[in-house]
Amino acid sequence: MPTAELHIDGKVIELPVIEGSEGERAIDIQNLRSETGLITMDPGYANTGSCESSITFINGEEGILQYRGYPIEELAENCTFLEVSYLLIHGELPTEVELDGFTNSILHHTMIHEDFRLLFRALPKDAHPMAACSAMVSALATFYPDSLDPRDPREVEVSIHRLLAKLPTIASYAYKHSVGQPFMYPDNNLSYVGNFLRLMFANPCEEFEVDPVVEKAIDLLLILHADHEQNCSASTVRIVGSSHVNMFASISAGINALWGPRHGGANQEVIEMLSAIADEGISGKEFVDRAKSRDDTSRLMGFGHRVYKNFDPRARIIKKACYDVLDRLGVNSRLLEIAVEIEQLALSDDYFVERNLYPNVDFYSGVIYTAIGTPENMFTANFAIGRLPGWIAQWREMHEHKHKIGRPRQVYTGETRRKVPQLSDR
């Protein structure tokens, strides 16, 4: 095994170098502190591997994304979201029989306890759906105390199915509550996405038909969001789960992490940005200039990525899908025109070129959500439904491997030891 040498305090320490199946290399520092008394410093963990994982591979320089070895482009072309969920969670694509069993189980656990209605009613009308989703997923632990043990494989399996089945119901109720419409009961005869669309957009007074174009578009978006290795929310799910708390609590924490505008919350902010350009007559150039300015804290939302220093492959697929879906729905989108203009401005601007800032997954997704009538504050909840199988797979993989509780260290820079003065002397 190759090693790296660390020369420190007149000593030479040999550190093993481990290599992943796609050639990624890492210096293993697990014994660094015990051998030297030193820790490493890496704010934002940009150079720190927290685990070995066989779920998702990203090559940010070349713009490659693979789930379990399969390129995202092929999965998007050939699979449904539930097939991809099975792949992420179980490691292989399902056979027909496996897919039938999995789909049947998910589609038959979509209802949530009637008392959730009371919980939703207790929330203000303008509660953000992400706050509501996180609270309700956390509350699942109170309704299902029979599936909380992370060391019991059967209980874990039951929790996985409950989460996948119920999150679309929960997310849609957050929306229904905000607009004062009755909660719809799930329809188990519909597809996973068809049921979600009905929960969101149907009302008890009218027939509702699922539009196959919209159904396919949402399914595609869910696939593209399904996992992204050790991002902020997946790392949150792992670190919370490492305390051996139940899966509902870990996923609830992941939902909160995703909500932030530098993470999944960016999709809502992108559309707010594009709408501001459309409605307030601000030019695209002005927005791009603002995002570059050191005096302005605003960023070009939907641009840049910690890992991709090239085009985000998901953004390419979504941009193409935008044209396709809008064309099929007969929608002429001013927002899409503005997005394309901003993209062109940024990609030919030295500031963005020098920093390798390209459109990410969130840049075009909101255009599709808007075209199909999804309210802006539900964009990130859609992302959460998509990311759920990834969080579950990451949580389960951690539990299947030997792991420690997540607990980073620090370099303390505060006051050194001192005496507590009496109140009268302070």
Q: Cα 168 to the chain's mean position, in Å?
A: 15
Out of 119, 237, 300, 335, which residue is the one contacting ligand CMC (CB under 6 A)? 300
Tell me how many residues contact ligand CMC (CB under 6 A).
20
Under the binding rule (CB under 6 A), the answer on residue 163 touching ligand CMC is: no
Minimum Å gap between C-beta 29 and ligand CMC is 22
Q: What's the CA gap between 195 and 184, in Å, rounded?
A: 10
Q: What's the CA gap between 1 and 41, in Å, rounded?
A: 25
- Residue number with CB closer to ligand CMC (208 or 351): 351
Q: Which candidate in 128, 225, 228, 305 is catalytic?
A: 305
Q: Which stretch binds ligand CMC (CB under 6 A): 145-153, 300-308, 365-373, 396-404?
A: 300-308
Q: What's the CA gap between 302 and 142, in Å, rounded?
A: 36
Under the binding rule (CB under 6 A), the answer on residue 342 touching ligand CMC is: no
Out of 83, 215, 219, 362, which residue is the one contacting ligand CMC (CB under 6 A)? 362
Under the binding rule (CB under 6 A), the answer on residue 334 touching ligand CMC is: no
As a whole number of angstroms, the longest Cα–Cα distance in the chain is: 79
Out of 231, 246, 374, 382, which residue is the one contacting ligand CMC (CB under 6 A)? 231
**Beta-carbon count within 10 A of 281 CB:** 8
| Contact set for ligand CMC, span 257-286 (CB under 6 A) | 262-264, 266
Return the exposure string of 202-214: e unless at least 16 CB atoms fall within 10 Å of the residue's CB, then b: beeeeebebeeeb
Minimum Å gap between C-beta 308 and ligand CMC is 8
Out of 94, 129, 254, 302, which residue is the one contacting ligand CMC (CB under 6 A)? 302
Under the binding rule (CB under 6 A), the answer on residue 360 touching ligand CMC is: yes
Minimum Å gap between C-beta 363 and ligand CMC is 7
177 classed as catalytic: no
Out of 305, 372, 391, 395, which residue is the one contacting ligand CMC (CB under 6 A)? 305
305 classed as catalytic: yes
Out of 108, 244, 285, 355, which residue is the one contacting ligand CMC (CB under 6 A)? 355
Contact 130, 380 (CB under 8 A): yes
Minimum Å gap between C-beta 262 and ligand CMC is 4
Minimum Å gap between C-beta 52 and ligand CMC is 22
Q: Which candidate in 296, 362, 403, 425 is catalytic?
A: 362
Q: Is 141 left (phi over 0), alpha (psi -120 to 50) or beta?
A: alpha
Note every long-range contact of 204-213, with CB atoms under 8 Å and residues 24 or more positions apart, other chains counting: 211/329, 211/372, 213/325, 213/328, 213/329
Out of 88, 137, 274, 301, which residue is the one contacting ligand CMC (CB under 6 A)? 301
- Residue number with CB closer to ligand CMC (199 or 388): 388
Q: What's the CA gap between 65 and 67, in Å, rounded?
A: 7
**Beta-carbon count within 10 A of 378 CB:** 21
Under the binding rule (CB under 6 A), the answer on residue 401 touching ligand CMC is: no
Q: What's the CA gap between 377 and 130, in Å, rounded?
A: 8
- What are the backbone angles phi and psi of residue 10, rounded to the nearest 5°? 75, 0
- Residue number with CB closer to ligand CMC (112 or 133): 133
Minimum Å gap between C-beta 266 and ligand CMC is 4
Q: Cα 2 to the chain's mean position, in Å?
A: 35
Using the 8-state DSSP alphabet, how is residue 359 labeled? B
Residue nearest to ligand CMC (CB): 304
User: What does the DSSP assignment read for 225-263?
Assistant: HS--SS-HHHHHHHHHHTTT--HHHHHHHHHHHHHSTTT
Report, as residue numbers or ranges, the catalytic residues. Answer: 305, 362
Kindly list the residues in this chain that would bind ligand CMC in the complex (CB under 6 A): 44, 231, 262-264, 266, 291, 299-306, 355, 357, 360-362
